[in-house]
Each structure stands twice: as structure tokens, then as C-alpha cells.
Amino acid sequence: MSGGPDAMIVLIRHGPTEWNAVGRIQGQSDVSLSAAGRREVATWRIPQRFQQAQWVSSPLKRAVQTAAVMGCHAPVTEPLLMEMNWGEWEGHRLAELRNKFGAEMEANENRGLDFRPPGGESPRQVQQRIKSWLAQTAAARQTRIVITHKGVIRAAISLVTKWNMMQAPPFPLRWDCAQVLRLSEQGQAALYATNFPLTGELT
């Protein structure tokens, strides 16, 4: 959907997986939605004003499956929207890593945007690929429903709010809701709506 110089980006995190349920770091591991996740996503609805928007998804199964359960069986898949690469730490739990690495892990986490798992990428690097995708979207003047990941949404919020990830986010992020950005023709993104329920209507 285009029309007007500004586009909207409706950011939605994929539904829950079995790894989410037990606290395992997924990163770019290709984990499917759980049965409970499918049931939750089946209750989500896109606001009426975005019914004609283009659907875009991370290529990871949990995102593509979320789009399908919500009614879009052939979203455009975009590798730039994949979850942050957690390298050697994928499949592990944060509590286990903190216990194992102690002060070293604490120092790494305290780096905020420059936190980086071994063999993985940092939130700042995720920001850089998001910037590239936002520029493409701005040029196309398209409003898009985006099924993506926690790390990508956090990186997008950090871009538009200047949050450095060294403290709590500027507002609580609910993962059963959408975060909506307004994107200018020049590619500048700003928050439009936060924690918008996927069962209501955006005015």
C-alpha cells in the first residue's frame, strides 16, 4: 500500500516456539512455531487500514509460519529481517551463560549496542542491516506488515529513540502487540504507535 510521502511499518514478532517456552536463545536457528504459538497467533488481527499492505517476513520458519497463520501464505521474505546471529550461544539459556562466564558475560552485556556473542553479531550490526531495508522501503513508499524477531524490533526501536541498550527500553515492549513506525520519504523513521494490540483498530 502506498499513497502519500510516508509509509507505515507494522512490526510484529513471530509467535512463540518451544525454545521460547524453555528460554533457549534462538538467534538464526530455524525453529518452528509451537502448537501453543500457533493458537496464540490465530487470535491476532491486522488493523483494517493495513489490510492491503504488503506482507514481508524474515525467512526463518517461525516468522513465515506466523504470517501464514495470520492469513498471508506467501509473504515476501527478506534476509535483512532475520534475527540477530547469536553464534556459539544459540540453543543456550542466558542464565546458564551468565553463570558460566560471570564477570566476562556481565561486561559484554553492559556494552549495550556493542554486545556481541562469540561468532555472532551485535545489535549495532543488526541496526545497520535494518537501516538498509528501511531505505529500500522508503524509496518504494510502501506500507508493510513485517513479521520479524525480538532482536530486530529492539534494534529498530533503538534506532528511532536513540536507546543505547545499556538500560531498560524507553517503554515496555509487549511481544503480543505491534510496534508501528512512520517512515518518511527520506527514510527517516519515527514511532507512530507502541504496543498496539493485534485485536483492535489503529486510528
Q: Is residue 41 part of a domain?
A: yes
Q: Is residue 203 part of a domain?
A: no
Q: Is residue 134 part of a domain?
A: yes
Q: Enumerate the active-site residues.
A: 14, 83
CATH number for the domain including 94? 3.40.50.1240
Q: Is residue 27 part of a domain?
A: yes
Task: Give me the mean pLDDT over the 78-99 stretch.
Answer: 97
Task: Give me the mean pLDDT over the 191-202 stretch.
Answer: 82
Domains of the chain: total? 1
Give the pLDDT of residue 3.
43
Q: Is residue 130 part of a domain?
A: yes
Does the pLDDT value for residue 51 go beyond 90?
A: no
Q: Is residue 56 part of a domain?
A: yes
CB 190 within 8 A of CB 199: no
Question: Whole domain around residue 27: which residue ranges?
Answer: 7-197
CB 70 within 8 A of CB 46: yes
CB 55 within 8 A of CB 46: no
CA angle 35, 53, 186 (to 5 degrees): 120
Q: Is residue 143 part of a domain?
A: yes
Those residues with Cβ within 8 angstroms of residue 193's Cβ, 6 or more apart along the chain or in another chain? 178, 179, 180, 202
Q: Is residue 202 part of a domain?
A: no
Per-residue pLDDT tens for 138-175? 888 889 999 999 999 999 999 999 999 999 999 999 99
Q: What's the predicted TM-score (pTM) here? A: 0.93
Per-residue pLDDT tens for 170-184? 999 999 999 999 998
